[in-house]
Amino acid sequence: MALTKNPQLNQWIDEMAQMCQPDKIILIDGSEAQKKQLTDEACATGEVARLNQEKLPGCLYHRTAQNDVARVEHLTYICTTLKEDAGPTNNWMAPQEGYRRAAEIFRGSMKGRTMYVIPFSMGPVGSPFSKIGVELTDSIYVVLNMLIMTRAGQEVLDTLGAGGAFTKCLHGKAERDVNKRLILHFPEDNAIWSVGSGYGGNVLLGKKCLALRIASYIARQEMWLAEHMLILGIEEPSGRIDYIAAAFPSACGKTNLAMMVPPEGLKVKGYRIWTVGDDIAWMRIDTDGKLWAINPETGFFGVAPGTNSRTNPNALATTQKNTIFTNVVLNPDGTVWWEDGEGEPAAAGALDWKGNPWKPGLTDEQGKPVKGAHPNSRFTAPIEQCPSHSFRLDHHHGVNISAIVFGGRRAHLAPLVYQAFSWSHGVYMGATMASERTAAQYGKQGEVRRDPMAMLPFCGYNMADYFEHWLRMGVRMRWQPKIFHVNWFRQDEDGNFLWPGYGENLRILEWILARSRNDLQAVKTAIGFVPRLKDIDMTDLALPPGAMESLFEIDPQAWRQEMASVAEFFETFGDRLPLELWAQHEALERRLEELGDSRT
């Protein structure tokens, strides 16, 4: 009997099953009963383990293979007919070649295994913002994660109907051999093939692969935006809630910002935060000419290390039940721990992320400390469990975006906050973002890389066309959100952070919203508008003398150096780069020469 009422879907499942040769095919219906059955099965095989059900009800533990702990950008490809359509920032493979190479690995790889069919919706089921995908996978871990991260099950199939379009997402663990691992995107076919990995970012295909790479390609054609952005609402003492969307490169504190807790001084005034999303925003111009955004996901796939009751109490509260922990320390009492987490790990009997006996202070043969949790270890948790979750999560049109914020991790150069002069200037600010590499990507940590709009690893087409698309979107809006850049990570000469960050960042968001409403004057500098220091609400926050001035210092010499590196980056796009970005670049050059920093 046919598995679904959609002939195209049935045919595709058949073809993929013929290639992968699973013993069984099971349709994921989204029911609690099926979820329990699959969890029992995965516990029996050791794929996951139940944690202490009294202390962490509904929580599971999982370890990935040791060579499979992060996204693999060097094995991630955009497979378009023309190489130029993938652009200079993506790895490219011809579609035929991609299918051929991956098929060699997929062929027969599910013998003795089950293929699960997961129908899922990115965005509220049936919303005009949403897209449907179907993931085929041989991993119960993937199924359980997808049930947290997306709306999955029968309801989605019912909405898809007999003729609806969907993204074909095929995942197989195969041998989990790094030499037989490929993450392939076929935007022209609306398809994703991921083989040889079990790590979230490579295998939860609704997330980076569909909701960013494939969606960005579709969004350009349909005139919307698929962005690597958090969405958060800020409720002011008057009760008014304004929403911002913010892009930061991986592991720059996006999850922390998305669910921040206002500092006491602002809380008593009546400020509240509403979390809409921590990673991805899909944004459309609605009939009112304004920009509206949804979070297409329903969960967090957050980095565990560094999450504690000071940095992110809401994340900690979110992960107390129904959460999957991956590659963290397993305590003998069935609880979990990670570096810079809460409390102490067990003094004896704990296992590290590799499954080896581990205790605090352990060192290797060279005397180097051995980490208990992998630096990119993760929690997968339902957004509904977040104490600050927005009451608009399921709203079909999402929330109206008042401001767009770009950010990076820069020890020097970029001031704490500055505002673009115009939409085009804001697009230039986004296109020239740069940050230091973190543990979420495979490769060398610490080095600075350009990461336009935090989309470098996630844009499914030529980024020059992506910039053009951003510029065009601005023209189409009747009411454009104002665009800002923030840098929470600026340091003094001794390498100390100048700004306390975390909940204190709300003080900067307040200024951003006031500027979005044209409520405040600002200081015009060469790079953009910066605050008059008196306009930053410093209730109950005392910084060392001179710190605020340093946070807003603009060093024209350093900026000129930066611009040389920007020019080099822009040149890689040849004449496909919109002229408007070069015009913005030259205008900034002129302003740096003529204007300098008018505050000094």
CB of 228 to Mn ion, least distance (A): 6
CA separation for the pair 156, 154 (Å, rounded): 5
Nearer to Mn ion, 204 or 266 (CB): 204
CB of 565 to ligand OXD, least distance (A): 23
Q: Which residue blocks in 79-153 are alpha helix, DSSP H?
A: 83-86, 95-106, 140-149
What is the 8-class DSSP label of residue 209?
A: I
Judge contact between 256 and 506, C-beta under 8 A: no
What is the 8-class DSSP label of residue 61?
A: E
Nearer to ligand OXD, 31 or 445 (CB): 445
Q: How many other C-beta atoms are found inside a 10 Å radius of the C-beta of residue 171?
A: 29
Work out whether 201 is an interface residue with ligand OXD (CB under 6 A). yes
Which of 79, 169, 252, 459 is the catalytic position? Answer: 252
Residue 201 interacting entry, from ligand OXD, Mn ion, none, C-beta within 5 to 8 Å by type? ligand OXD
Nearer to ligand OXD, 19 or 440 (CB): 440
Judge contact between 417 and 505, C-beta under 8 A: no
Count of residues touching ligand OXD (by CB under 6 A): 6
Judge contact between 323 and 54, C-beta under 8 A: no
Q: Where are the beta strands (DSSP E) in 434-562?
A: 434-436, 448-450, 482-486, 523-524, 529-530
Residue 119 interacting entry, from ligand OXD, Mn ion, none, C-beta within 5 to 8 Å by type? none
Which x/- pattern over 42-81 shows residues binding ligand OXD (rule: CB under 6 A)?
-----------------------------x----------
Q: Which residue blocks in 215-356 are alpha helix, DSSP H?
A: 215-222, 254-258, 264-267, 313-318
Q: Which of 106, 64, 63 is nearest to 195 (CA)?
A: 106
Work out whether 440 is an interface residue with ligand OXD (CB under 6 A). yes
CA separation for the pair 282, 226 (Å, rounded): 5
Nearer to ligand OXD, 3 or 439 (CB): 439
Residue choice 227, 278, 279, 562 for contact with Mn ion (CB under 5 A): 279
Work out whether 253 is an interface residue with ligand OXD (CB under 6 A). no
Residue 451 interacting entry, from Mn ion, ligand OXD, none, C-beta within 5 to 8 Å by type? none
Work out whether 297 is an interface residue with Mn ion (CB under 5 A). no
Nearer to ligand OXD, 22 or 201 (CB): 201
Q: How many other C-beta atoms are found inside a 10 Å radius of the C-beta of residue 107?
A: 15
> Of 288-347, which residues contact ligand OXD (CB under 6 A)?
301
Work out whether 279 is an interface residue with ligand OXD (CB under 6 A). yes
Which x/- pattern over 354-393 shows residues binding ligand OXD (rule: CB under 6 A)?
----------------------------------------
Contacts of range 389-394, beta carbons closer than 8 Å, 24 or more positions apart: 389/274, 389/275, 390/233, 390/274, 390/275, 390/276, 391/274, 392/233, 392/274, 392/276, 393/276, 393/295, 393/298, 394/124
79 catalytic, yes or no? no
Judge contact between 137 and 292, C-beta under 8 A: no
Work out whether 190 is an interface residue with ligand OXD (CB under 6 A). no
Catalytic residues: 252
Applying CB under 6 A, the residues found at the interface with ligand OXD are: 71, 201, 250, 279, 301, 440
